Every structure is written in structure tokens, then in C-alpha cells.
Chain A
Amino acid sequence: MKINVLAFGVAKEIFGSSLVSLELTNDATIYNLKYLLEQQYPRLKQLASYMVAVNNEYALPGDTIHERDEIAIIPPVSGG
């Protein structure tokens, strides 16, 4: 399945775009997504940490991704 990944903050600069498309297997997890992204964008591994959000909620590494989910990369937040 093809999924779109939104990027914010420093992740947007690492991707060179606020939106990237990826091809994932149908039962892919957050862990699989992070692995694939880190292969394509090794600078992600230099971040202090980063989370993945699915449909506006923080996701866990074992969570499964579904087609049409809204996926976002959340680098360390710094609001306030």
C-alpha cells in the first residue's frame, strides 16, 4: 500500500518536503515505517528522538498502519 507521511519541524528539513510517499506492505507496523524512513533519510537517526502519530494520536512501535491513515513524523516537540 502507498502511504503519505507528513513531516514537521526538523523532519520537514530532513525529508526536504512536508509530505513524502512510501510503499509499505499491507500489515506494516510503525516499527517497519521507522526502519524504512531511516534507510531513506539517515539523518532521522541523529535526532534526540522522534515519534510517529497515526490519525492525530501518538502511536506505539507495534501498531499496524492502515491505508488512508494520516501518518505524521513528530520530532522532539518544543512548544510553549
Chain B
Amino acid sequence: MQHTQVILTADTLDVPSCINWIMSPQSGGIDVFIGTVRNATKGKSVLRLEFEAYEPMAISEMEKICRQAFDQWPVQKVLVHHRTGTLQVGEIPVIIAVSAAHRAAAFEACRYIIDTLKQTVPIWKKEIFEDGEVWVAAHP
């Protein structure tokens, strides 16, 4: 899929290279979502996050979401990069980028991809606090 780039990596994500890849002469606009590690959750200080993935399935689920975006909107290129491993506050766990001839498709597809990723892709994050740690969303 030359119009799709899905990467799961333990290396630092690079925003400029994502933007370079997503741009094309046919595009009228690009939409980029950058997830960042927040310093607190529910008023409690977060020291860092640890991301774990079921790698082959995470990649296939991310590719599936990209295909669904192409099915639903007239988009030109779709990119999903996701981190694994330990991330400090301010680091980037996820980048979604979409290019399209017109902005509405880019905005909507970008939102669909991040929202669906959070619901279906087998990646887990553990929040590390000063006094403990918790797997996010694991318990009701």
C-alpha cells in the first residue's frame, strides 16, 4: 500500500518526516494529529508511560483502520506511527497524518483513525506514578 504508512517502533517519532511523507502535489491540505504524554491524569502526577503492543496484530489492525479511512473518505495518503516502550512527559506516542484534496475529508479521516485506534488496536499503556502504577482502562 504505497499510500499508507504504518509503523510501530521503539524509536522516537519524528513529526517533520511524517509531514514530508504525507505531502503530495495532489493534496489541498494535510491533517496531523500528534498525541503527547500528559503530566497528570485525574489530578495525579504521571512520571512516565510504558507502552506495550501485540505487534503483528497491532500492525494489522492499524492497516485495517487505514483501509477503512480510504473506503469512507476521498483521502490521498494516510500515515500512522505508534511508539512502544517507555515515554517521558511531553514525548510523542502517536502521530496520525492524512492528506486529501479538500480539508473536510482530511479532518474527518484523521479523527476516525485516532478514535478507532484507541478502541481496537492491541496496544496498552501503563501510567507510572510516584506511588504506584496502573494499566489504563483495565478495570471498571
Contact check, A78 vs B135: say whether CB atoms are below 8 A apart: yes
Q: Which residues of A contact B (CB under 8 A)?
A: 6, 8-10, 13, 46-48, 53, 56-58, 72, 74-80
Interface residue? B112 (CB, 8 A): no
Q: Return chain B residues, CB-CB under 8 Å to A47.
A: 138-139
Contact of A9 among B52, B93, B118 (CB under 8 A): B52
Contact check, B138 vs A10: say whether CB atoms are below 8 A apart: yes
Contact check, B57 vs A56: say whether CB atoms are below 8 A apart: yes
Contact check, B125 vs A79: say whether CB atoms are below 8 A apart: yes
Q: Which residues of B contact A (CB under 8 A)?
A: 35, 51-54, 56-58, 60, 82, 93-94, 114, 117-126, 135-140
Contact check, A76 vs B54: say whether CB atoms are below 8 A apart: no
Contact of B123 among A10, A56, A57, A78 (CB under 8 A): A78
Q: Return chain A residues, CB-CB under 8 Å to B124.
A: 8-10, 75, 77-79
B80 CB to nearest A CB, Å: 10
Could you list 15 A-B pairs, sorted by A, with CB under 8 Å? A8-B52, A8-B53, A8-B124, A9-B138, A10-B138, A46-B139, A47-B138, A48-B137, A56-B56, A56-B57, A72-B57, A77-B121, A78-B123, A80-B94, A80-B118
* Residues A77 and B120 in contact in the complex (CB < 8 Å), given A8-B52, A48-B138, A56-B60: yes
Give Cα distance in the complex from A14 to B60, angstroms.
Answer: 26
Contact of A78 among B58, B114, B136, B140 (CB under 8 A): B136
Contact check, B54 vs A53: say whether CB atoms are below 8 A apart: yes
For the complex of A and B, list the 6 residue pairs with the smallest distance between their C-beta atoms, beginning with the closest: A79-B123, A9-B124, A78-B136, A10-B135, A10-B138, A56-B57
Given contacts A76-B137, A77-B121, 19 further A-B pairs with CB under 8 A are A8-B52, A8-B53, A9-B135, A10-B124, A47-B139, A48-B137, A48-B138, A48-B140, A57-B57, A72-B57, A76-B138, A77-B123, A77-B124, A78-B125, A79-B82, A79-B117, A79-B122, A80-B93, A80-B114
Q: Return chain A residues, CB-CB under 8 Å to B139.
A: 10, 46-48
